[in-house]
Copies of this chain bind each other. A is one copy, B any other.
Amino acid sequence: MPQQNDNLKSIGPQGFLLPCPIFLVGTYHQNSDGEKIPNIMTASWGSLCSAQPPAVMIAVRGSRQTHKAIIQNKAFTISIPHTGILPEIDYCGIFSVTHENKFSRTKLTPTPAEHVDAPYVEECPVVIELTLIKYDEIGTHTLFIGEIMDVKIKESCLDDTGMPNPTKMNIPAYIPMLREYWGLGDFKAKAFGVGKTIAASKIAD
């Protein structure tokens, strides 16, 4: 826990200290023979960005094959992995489909999405299917905005009431500056709940 009175020290504008999610972005890649092969790329710069239509933003460098595939197919998936496949996750962020078939190499299972023309990763606890609605370049990256067509979750990750259980999903986070994968911890508090006590105390003032 940070101390109340310790100093803030500048680490410069490249001090990327935000905690990030980890996404396996699935697309169909067209190889030099014109064949469409399922491909995945690890990404961690992304976020929800609209409630209606429900939409997600991911930032992808222009040099990536996934960048080309999203524009060609106007579709992608996001498979949110569990911590049991961290070597596979890491591999898919380092290597390119131009080097070798990443699904074959990692032994992860490509499955065609239900609503969009892209594959997802069968082993992942959460899968999101997206249709490209907009993209824009920001510096080194392109922001792809995808409308969420569906979200799927493994039945084993639901609790008895049918709600998703983060402990069962076992999803990792990424700390970009440190280049480290971390696990999710424990439940701390209910949002739109624990803060109401502060306002309530005002009424009692």
Which residue numbers of A lie inside 8 Å of B, CB to CB?
Answer: 1-4, 6-21, 45-57, 59, 80, 82-84, 86-95, 100, 105-106, 114, 122-128, 133-134, 136, 138-141, 143, 145, 147-158, 163-164, 166, 168-199, 202
In Å, the complex CA distance between A95 and B201 comes to 14
* Chain B neighbourhood of A175, CB < 8 A: 164, 166
Which of A18, A145, A191, A198 has the most CB atoms of chain B within a 10 A radius of its CB? A191
* Chain B neighbourhood of A16, CB < 8 A: 48, 54, 151
If the complex has contacts A87-B195, A195-B88, are A141 and B49 also in contact, measured as CB distance less than 8 A? yes
Q: Which of B49, B84, B94, B191 is close to A195, meaning CB atoms less than 8 Å apart?
A: B94
Q: Which of B10, B19, B166, B191 is close to A171, meaning CB atoms less than 8 Å apart?
A: B19
> B17, A105: Cβ atoms under 8 Å?
no
Number of copies: 2
> A182, B191: Cβ atoms under 8 Å?
no
If the complex has contacts A2-B169, A199-B95, are A17 and B164 also in contact, measured as CB distance less than 8 A? yes
**A198 (CB) vs chain B CBs: closest residue:** B91
> B192, A166: Cβ atoms under 8 Å?
no
> A194, B87: Cβ atoms under 8 Å?
yes
Q: List 29 A-B contacts (CB under 8 A).
A: A1-B170, A3-B154, A3-B156, A6-B154, A8-B122, A8-B152, A11-B152, A15-B164, A18-B48, A19-B184, A20-B48, A45-B48, A48-B59, A48-B176, A49-B59, A49-B143, A51-B139, A51-B141, A87-B194, A87-B197, A88-B195, A90-B191, A90-B192, A91-B198, A92-B195, A94-B195, A105-B202, A163-B178, A184-B184
